[in-house]
Amino acid sequence: MAKTGVVEGDPITVATAKAATELKRELQRLVKAILSEDDINVDAIDKTHQTLFALKDLKLKRQSSFRTSPDSARVLPDEFRCSLSKELMRDPVIVSTGQTYDRPFIQKWLKAGNRTCPRTQQVLSHTILTPNHLIREMISQWCKNNGIQMPDPVQYLNDEGSTEADRDLFFSLLEKMSSILSDQKVAARELRLLTKKMPSFRALFGESADAIPQLLRPLSRSNSGVHPNLQEDIITTLLNLSIHDNNKKLVAETPMVVPLLMDALRSGTIETRSNAAAALFTLSALDSNKELIGKSGALKPLVELVDEGNPVAMKDVASAIFSLCIIHDNKARAVRDGAVRVILKNIMNNVHVDELLAILAMLSTNQKAIEEMGDLGAVPCLLNIIRETSCARSKENCIAILYTICYTDRTKWKIIRDEEKTYGTVSQLAENGTARAKRKANGILDRLNRAVNLTHTA
């Protein structure tokens, strides 16, 4: 008699059999209801589908339940187990470190944003999953010898996993990106939609070294200008890809990506330019990408786009500049590229004040930026915002910038002192602001008081 892989009378087996019986009864009732009615009972049909899928799932679980038995745990070779699931592997694949895992579980690990090998903790050089045909053949033979039916790997993929049909479509669309313009436009639009809706398509780009260069080919080889819609769809697809955590490093380090995003910031539809900025923002979530993007010169076209003041793109551009300027070197680059003048101009024109103030506060640790702010009339502007805005974070950013100016440029103390005499702006913030705002406001007041005392003493 063939082995079943479970102990007779095992509680899990008994419970599974009972559940299967109940599902079959429910299925009989639903089929009877469908057949007995003249009209089509859509609700009963939907429930029938659900019951059938539940039965199928139960069947698969029953086939794999042998692993709960002490005997099976002893018999099952460790090399056949996935170290993530602790279960028999159905679709063994190899990662870049040479370790083997069951495809759906390593896919889930990668989709969660992990970039290391679960077993060795080494950083993965890429996320391509290579089928381990040898192990699969050995598992298949072992299952056969033990009377266990091995489910088809496709049935075992989770909801986020890609199917062979997905892969075929993916590579077909990439091939069209090297075809005539009409084919490129159709393929680019479809890739844009698929990468927006399906995480599995975003992941596929990380499994093929040539996928991103193929996507970008129409932009990189065109000497006579790119069709605006084609450029928009390709740049937006890059944005969709950059959302996938595992793709951030791969996308940014593909040589042509950042230069093409910089080109897109200067040309194309406003949506193209906005999405290019959004892509740079998303990619800059990694510190290594911040440095790479900054060294590439991307801050200059971002600053130029802020200078234009288009409200559609402003939020994405501001987010990108803020994220990039978290690292010290990029602050200096932004200041050198004229960010202080451009940002202050927009703040004074009441354009996206809250977002731009956050960048200005970030830049205020740069000495040259502080000098420019003083020369460009930032002090009265910031004091006016503190008086008029209801946004606590904007008040905090304003007083933080004023605190730095106050400590580096004594010529601006008179403006702040006059503001205090007329409105008591800083004093009010010292009482009612956020914790940080109170500290900065009290620091300014202490500085002013000491200056007055010194004057009287002299």
pLDDT digits (tens, 9 = 90+) for 270-324: 999 999 999 999 999 999 999 999 999 999 999 999 999 888 999 999 999 999 9
d(Cα 356, Cα 351) in Å, to the nearest integer? Answer: 8
- On the question of pLDDT at 6 being above 60, the answer is no
pLDDT digits (tens, 9 = 90+) for 44-85: 666 666 667 666 655 655 554 444 344 444 467 888 889 888
pTM: 0.66
Token pair belonging to 356: 């731009």
pLDDT digits (tens, 9 = 90+) for 192-211: 999 988 888 888 898 888 99
> β-strands 92-94, 130-131: how paired?
antiparallel
- On the question of pLDDT at 157 being above 50, the answer is no
Q: What stretches of 325-352 show up as alpha helix (H) in DSSP?
A: 328-336, 339-348
pLDDT of residue 72: 43
Fold (topology level) of 80-144: Herpes Virus-1 (3.30.40)
pLDDT of residue 161: 58
The string of DSSP codes covering 265-302 is: HHSS-HHHHHHHHHHHHHHTTSHHHHHHHHHTTTHHHH
Q: What is the mean pLDDT of residues 374-396?
A: 96
Amino acid identity at 68: T
The confidence band for 42, taking pLDDT boundaries of 50, 70 and 90, is: low
pLDDT of residue 142: 85
- On the question of pLDDT at 223 being above 60, the answer is no
Q: What is the mean pLDDT of residues 132-137?
A: 83
CATH architecture type of domain 165-336: Alpha Horseshoe (1.25)
Give me the helix-helix angle, 257-266 and 211-220, nearest 10°. Answer: 40
Question: Greater confidence, 329 or 4?
Answer: 329
Question: Greater confidence, 80 or 251?
Answer: 251
Q: What is the mean pLDDT of residues 120-145?
A: 81
Nearest-CA neighbor of 178 among 222, 233, 218, 211? 218
Mean pLDDT (the chain, rounded): 84
**Backbone φ, ψ for residue 221 (5° rounding):** -110, 5
